[in-house]
Structure 1
Amino acid sequence: MIWTPISIEEIFEKIYSTEKDLNGNLLNFWDLIKIYPEKWYEEEYGQEGGGFWVVGLMGRRVIYYNDIEEGFNISEYTAYGTIDNYYCNQDDLNITILNLYSLITFGGRITGQAGPPIGF
Structure 2
Amino acid sequence: MEAEGRMSPRVFRLWEAIRIVPEKWREAAFGDPGGGFWVVAIIGRKALWYNDIEDGFNCSSYYVVGTLAEYWCNQDGLEVAVQNLLSTLDAGVDPALRLGLPVTGPYLPE
Identify whether the pair has TM-score above 0.5, normalized to the shorter chain. Answer: yes
What's the % identity of the aligned pairs? 41
Give 1:54 shift: 0.4
Q: Which amino acid in 2 is paired with 1:104? A: L
Offset from partner CA, 1:42-80 (integer Å, 9 cap, x none): 000000111000001000001100000111001000000
Matched, 1:64 2:49: yes
Equivalent residues in 2 for 1:12-23, closer than 5 Å: 16-23=1-8
Give 1:110 shift: 4.2
Residue in 1 that maps onto 2:15: 30
What SS does structure 2 have at the residue aligned with 1:55?
A: strand
Residue in 1 that maps onto 2:108: none
Residue in 2 that maps onto 1:94: 79
Gaps of 5+ in 1: 1-15
- Structure 1 stretches of at least 4 aligned residues deviating more than 3 Å after TM superposition: none
What SS does structure 2 have at the residue aligned with 1:27?
A: helix
Rg (Cα) greater in structure: 2
Computed over aligned residues only, the root mean square deviation of the Cα atoms, in angstroms, reads 1.4
Q: Distance in 1 between matches of 2:95 and 2:67?
A: 20
Matched, 1:44 2:26: no
Structure (1 or 2) with the greater strand fraction:
2
Gaps of 5+ in 2: 106-110
TM-score normalized with structure 1 length: 0.82
Q: Distance in 2 between matches of 1:110 and 1:63?
A: 15
Q: Distance in 2 between matches of 1:111 and 1:23?
A: 18
Give 1:28 shift: 0.7
